[in-house]
């Protein structure tokens, strides 16, 4: 269970704003604007945004890149004691990686009706059949997180893309 006291909720907003800055960078680069940060001991140890187009890599989601950065920073694949913040509910691939990395806490902004794997379509992060489960808090700054995605796809459609 995630503590939802007012002080902690404002801290979640602070970290989510950092993830939103990453999403803005993705937007500027023509990538789907999703950002992620990983916090350990009150410090950001990883910060990333989607780079699928840039890297021509279907696995280059913000969360995947951030997990790799955090593991490198901690010199350990086990990211216990970390919290991942993502502007969009993680997909099955990212949720699986979060579970495999043993990240105990997931905080996300907007729900993903098409691929959400924490609450919406799947519950990978708290599936009792898996060897690790995560506490999940969704909806943090959801309007801002949803808004940047909507603006991006509206722009893409107006340009005849996607």
Catalytic residue among 14, 22, 29, 63, which? 63
Encode 1-34 in three state secondary structure: CCCCCHHHHHHHHHHHHHHHHHHHHHHHCCCCCC
**Residue 132 is inside which H or E element, if any?**
none
- At residue 15's C-alpha, the angle toward residues 135 and 108, to 5°, is 40
Annotated catalytic residue 24: no
Q: Which helix (H) or strand (E) holds 59?
A: none
Supply the residues annotated as catalytic. 63
């Amino acid at each position: 269970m995630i503590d939802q006291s007012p002080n902690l909720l404002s801290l979640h907003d602070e970290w989510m704003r950092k993830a939103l800055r990453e999403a803005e960078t993705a937007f500027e680069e023509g990538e789907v604007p999703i950002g992620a940060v990983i916090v350990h001991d009150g410090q950001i140890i990883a910060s990333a945004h989607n780079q699928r187009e840039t890297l021509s890599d279907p696995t280059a989601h913000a969360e995947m890149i951030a997990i790799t950065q955090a593991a490198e920073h901690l010199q350990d694949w086990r990211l216990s004691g970390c919290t991942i913040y993502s502007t969009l509910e993680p997909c099955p691939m990212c949720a699986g990686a979060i579970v495999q990395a043993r990240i105990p806490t997931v905080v996300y902004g907007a729900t993903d009706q098409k691929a959400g794997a924490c609450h919406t379509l799947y519950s990978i992060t708290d599936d009792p059949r898996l060897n690790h489960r995560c506490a999940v808090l969704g909806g943090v700054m959801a309007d801002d997180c949803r808004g940047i995605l909507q603006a991006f796809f509206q722009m893409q459609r107006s340009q005849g893309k996607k």
